[in-house]
Structure 1
Amino acid sequence: MSTVLELSDVTVTRSGTTILDQVSWKVDSSERWVILGPNGAGKTTMLQVAAALMHPSLGTADVLGQRIGSVDLFELRPRIGFASTAMARRVPASESVIDVVLTAAYSVTGRWNEQYEELDVRRASRVLAEWKLSHLEQRRFGELSDGEQKRVQIARAVMTDPELLLLDEPAASLDLGAREELLQLLGGYASSPYAPGIIMVTHHVEEIPPGFTHALLLDQGKVAAAGPIGEVITSEVLSGTFGLPLTVDETDGRFTARAADR
């Protein structure tokens, strides 16, 4: 087990607004974390710092043992898998699914003049099969449904065997069937001893896959709670973070939340 992310008193300020406020947090390679919190709490900013896409204004951020600000980010970023809606928007709509995944080897989002070995192509096909996407290999990315695009993004993120996997709201906007299919796949992946450390941002406890081990709650840029998932995803803790009496239930590793009866 090794530390894949360590934030020490990290503050992020943009245009005079403090987005993260003295955040300290450590993630080990065997842990699968979910980040929740109200809108504007700083969840996506946390992920951008972890992805080495944003520098802290104050404090230190060590990603895979490398300190942001004193390391070549172009060497660090390929070791990090990152899937997000913003990343999906950068993929050309005309790109084939196999090429969307394959180009992760060069950390680019569109096929150009790169040369790939047969080993890379086989690896991309295998990853697509693992995420139940083989039948879409030659389809254009822009023709896929939201659920299919989300899974292609995750397949791309794991293509290079990352040491840290970051997922920004992977189940957002999906219908019930697509969401459950994705969470089933994510749960299986998270439960594998060979999976990297995982951090996932979501707005809803119903979108936490089984197999996730820890949770962090953010509120107004500060850590409201962090620790083993069963100690953090509770009625009392979530009610305090969201400012509303909530009842949280857990069954077989899946959570639900609703407003408490008054």
Structure 2
Amino acid sequence: MSTPPVLSVRDVDVVRDGNPILHEVSLTVRAGEHWALLGSNGAGKSTLLGLLGALTHPTRGHVEVLGHRLGRVDMRQLRSYVGHVNPRHDLRSPLKVHDVVLTGLTNTLERVPRWQPTHEQVAEADRLIALLGLGERRDARWPTLSQGERGRALIARALMPSPRLLLLDEPATGLDVAGREQLIERIDTLQHTYTGLASVLVTHHLEELPPGTSHVMLLRDGRCLAAGPADEVLTSDRVSECFDHPVRLSRVDGRWSVRAGRPARRPGLATASV
């Protein structure tokens, strides 16, 4: 018997202040799948991610997160089982990296007064900090971290409760090339380390997709343009339609790149366009 999906979205509409944001969107995510939501600004990516993270309700349709249908479950409790990484983490106190990661257990911005983690929880926080490449920054204060270091610390924080689902909302926002590549490398490591973990990543840029991205949904004007295995969905024609601009795609060593214009036929081209 097949395992129930981690996420199930069926014929969802979202309307805000009379404005349609999502229209008849359906999505199924299973354990071990790593999805990317791609589309231009205003396509509905963040709105859909909010549904997947049990942050908001659909106007119409059904959403099930970890087997629980929205509208029939305590949303706050359900969110504690989802690893939601938002780079706009509104932390204002100078917590150490280690303490930031531990707040993933209490699902709070700050350390809860008089709450003390167990030895096992402290060890797990240290393991995740090392896994995200921040071992030497364990005791660094939040204000001193680079944007890339903050992003990786927040991923470690999200993994503390051992979630079955990890949601990444534009994790490479504001990063320089080095920070972006370090982040993608660590996300790829996670995808290979946690084989049962499902993830959904929102981005505008194909260059930010980790090599382990297994599935993609293209959104345009609140509608699903295409969804399925990444190699089938990410074609030059479909991505051009999604962003309303002619582009050509290529893939090298598992990483996607995009150039303007239609594929050119040139003999001896080293990388194949799709």
TM-score after normalising by structure 2: 0.91
Q: CA deviation at 1:148?
A: 0.5
Runs of 4+ in 1 over 4 A off after TM superposition: none
Distance 2:192 2:213 in 1: 8
- Does the 8 A contact of 1:189 with 1:195 survive in 2? no
In structure 1, the residue matched to 2:102 is 102
Q: Deviations over 1:158-211 (max 9, x none)?
A: 111111000011112111111111111111211335341000001100000011
In structure 2, the residue matched to 1:52 is 54
Q: CA deviation at 1:115?
A: 2.7
In structure 1, the residue matched to 2:82 is 80
Distance 1:216 1:10 in 2: 15
Percent of pairs with identical residues: 40
In structure 1, the residue matched to 2:25 is 23
Q: CA deviation at 1:2?
A: 3.7
Distance 2:52 2:238 in 1: 25
Q: Deviations over 1:22-64 (max 9, x none)?
A: 1111111121001100110010111111000011111110000
Distance 1:44 1:10 in 2: 14
Q: Tell me the amino acid that sits aligned with residue 154 of structure 1.
A: I
Q: Tell me the amino acid that sits aligned with residue 79 of structure 1.
A: Y
Distance 1:257 1:54 in 2: 33
How many pairs were matched up? 260
In structure 2, the residue matched to 1:156 is 157
Unaligned runs of 5+ in 2: 265-274
95 and 195 in structure 1: CA distance in 2 versus 1, 3 angstrom threshold: farther
In structure 2, the residue matched to 1:131 is 132
Q: CA deviation at 1:82?
A: 0.6
In structure 1, the residue matched to 2:174 is 173
Q: Tell me the amino acid that sits aligned with residue 104 of structure 1.
A: G
Q: Tell me the amino acid that sits aligned with residue 182 of structure 2.
A: E
Q: Secondary structure at the match of 1:257?
A: strand
Q: Secondary structure at the match of 2:80?
A: helix
Q: Secondary structure at the match of 1:181?
A: helix
Question: Which residues in structure 2 correspond to 1:24-43 (within 5 Å)?
Answer: 24-43=26-45
Q: Deviations over 1:112-167 (max 9, x none)?
A: 31232111111111110111112112211121110101111111111111110000
In structure 2, the residue matched to 1:4 is 6
Unaligned runs of 5+ in 1: none
In structure 2, the residue matched to 1:222 is 223
**Mean Cα deviation higher: 188-197 or 4-13:** 188-197
- Does the 8 A contact of 2:87 with 2:173 survive in 1? no
In structure 1, the residue matched to 2:210 is 209
Q: Secondary structure at the match of 1:3?
A: coil
Q: Secondary structure at the match of 1:120?
A: helix
Distance 2:76 2:104 in 1: 13
Q: Which has the larger radius of gyration?
A: 2
Q: Tell me the amino acid that sits aligned with residue 243 of structure 1.
A: D
